Amino acid sequence: MKKGIIALIIVALVMGGFVTCAFSMAQAPKSFQVTGKIVEVNLRAHTIKIAPKTEDTILLRINEKTVLTKSGKQITLPALKKDDLVTVTYEIRRGKKIAKSISVQEKIPAPKRPVSTKGKR
């Protein structure tokens, strides 16, 4: 009788472990990536709003784990400016979009037109 109860407890513990593993795997957040221009930076709320070409604006939350970079160097939230072109990797947790990384793309300056010296005397 005792052996049967012990065997039943062991089976229950093993099955509980499988259920826990399956549940935790099902809850793993999926990562997304999007590129767009910054529409708004809210320093108090630690959020940015970006406008990708393919969708409406996206509100992203920034936390202490978010990695912010520009030209390969780490930056801080106040360095993000409106109209910066960014690539953001984020995940959705509890219905909120949490930025994992934000990379500011360098603006390429427009080429200058050559100045013609003909006709000027």
Query: What mean pLDDT comes out for the span 19-47?
Result: 81
Structure confidence at residue 53 (pLDDT): 87
Query: Which residues are CB-contacts of 104 (< 8 A; sequence separation ≥ 6)?
Result: 68, 69, 70, 71, 75, 79, 80, 84, 85, 86
Q: Which residue has the higher pLDDT, 20 or 114?
A: 114
User: What's residue 39's pLDDT?
Assistant: 96
Q: Give mean pLDDT, residues 115-121.
A: 61
Mean pLDDT computed over 38-58: 94
Tell me the pTM.
0.66
Report the length, in residues, of the chain: 121
Q: Which residue has the higher pLDDT, 114 or 88?
A: 88
Tell me how far apart the alpha carbons of residues 78 and 104 are, in angstroms, rounded to a whole number: 13
**Strand blocks (E) in the chain:** 31-42, 47-52, 58-61, 67-70, 73-74, 85-93, 96-104
Residue-range domains of the chain with CATH: 31-104 (2.40.50.320)
